[in-house]
């Protein structure tokens, strides 16, 4: 018997949106809140990333029988988005470099994507607990240190999003080391040079499915899911 899916995560490379026709086609399909967000961004790279995240959310809504362009999205008091008319449907968006990410679940969820190579000792001391710093400093190889730091960072960002608090909570005030109940974390190597993490609140009661989405350059501008999707069971750390 297959395990129930508790969370779906999709990641997409947004480079195809550099083509103006494809960018405009998808932008016209977005809800007003996403169009305003894209228009507010100064640089083309940021506009592509924001639109890419919107496309992934649009896909997630349409797959669940909802109107991707009309489903209302609001922000809570901490600026975190939610569906006011669908309180049992939770989502989180992230983007970094040239990749966009979306996580959707029936329970509170957060996700974060980050490029490797952006951490340093000062930032680590600012955002990690003493126990996390101790674990990080055991990584003597610079590449391993950087990946472990980015793993800590993305877990913390995804946890803050899952709680709905955003960056209102200081990162060093909580730990994402294993052992604490009421939450779970996962990472997957969806693209070289990046770390993609997801956090769910509560007990993990089903499997997660990670998909890499390809935005095809076709007349209809439809993204199609890569055939390679990984399902991870509830007992996976």
Give the mean pLDDT of 68-88: 87
Tell me what pLDDT residue 166 has: 74
Q: What is the DSSP letter of 57?
A: H
Q: What is the DSSP string of 6-24?
A: EEEEEEEE-GGGGSHHHHH
CATH fold of 5-232 reads Ribosomal Protein L22; Chain A (3.90.470)
Euclidean distance between CA atoms 30 and 120, whole angstroms: 37
Euclidean distance between CA atoms 176 and 217, whole angstroms: 40
Tell me what pLDDT residue 226 has: 46
- Nearest by Cα to 22 from 225, 219, 214, 224: 219
Express as a percent the part of the chain with pLDDT over 90: 73
Cross-strand bridge partners of residue 232: 208
pLDDT over 80 at 98, yes or no: yes
3-state helix, strand, coil in the chain (%, to 5): 35, 30, 35
Tell me what pLDDT residue 75 has: 83
Rounded to two decimals, what is the model's pTM? 0.89
Kindly give, in sequence order, each residue whose CB lies less than 8 Å from that of residue 93, ignoring residues fewer than 6 positions away: 53, 56, 57, 81, 100, 101, 102, 111
Tell me what pLDDT residue 215 has: 81
Going by DSSP bridges, is the β-strand pair 5-13/74-75 parallel, antiparallel, or unpaired?
unpaired
Tokens of 226: 């890569």
Give the mean pLDDT of 90-105: 97
Do residues 61 and 68 make contact, with C-beta atoms less than 8 angstroms apart?
yes
Tell me what pLDDT residue 225 has: 45
Tell me what pLDDT residue 163 has: 93
Q: What is the pLDDT of residues 129-152, one digit of tens each?
A: 999 999 999 999 999 999 999 999
Q: What is the pLDDT of residues 102-119, one digit of tens each?
A: 999 999 999 999 999 988
């Amino acid at each position: 018997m297959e395990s129930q899916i508790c969370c779906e995560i999709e990641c997409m490379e947004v480079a195809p949106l550099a083509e103006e026709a494809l960018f405009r086609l998808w932008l016209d399909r977005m809800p007003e809140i996403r169009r305003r967000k894209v228009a507010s961004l100064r640089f083309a790279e940021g506009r592509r990333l924001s639109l890419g995240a919107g496309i992934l959310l649009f896909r997630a809504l349409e797959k669940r029988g909802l109107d991707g362009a009309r489903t209302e999205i609001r922000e809570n008091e901490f600026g975190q988005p939610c569906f006011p008319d669908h309180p049992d449907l939770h989502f989180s968006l992230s983007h970094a470099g040239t990749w966009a990410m979306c996580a959707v679940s029936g329970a509170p969820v957060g996700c974060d994507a980050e490029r490797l190579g952006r951490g340093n000792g000062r930032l680590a001391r600012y955002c990690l607990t003493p126990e996390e710093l101790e674990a990080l400093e055991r990584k003597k190889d610079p590449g391993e240190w950087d990946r472990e730091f980015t793993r800590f960072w993305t877990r913390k960002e995804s946890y803050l999003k899952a709680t709905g608090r955003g960056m209102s909570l200081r990162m060093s005030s909580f730990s994402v080391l294993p052992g604490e109940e009421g939450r779970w974390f996962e990472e997957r190597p969806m693209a070289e040079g990046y770390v993609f993490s997801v956090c769910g609140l509560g007990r993990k009661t089903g499997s997660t499915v990670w998909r890499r989405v390809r935005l095809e350059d076709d007349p209809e501008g439809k993204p199609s899911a890569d055939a390679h999707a990984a399902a991870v069971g509830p007992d996976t750390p």
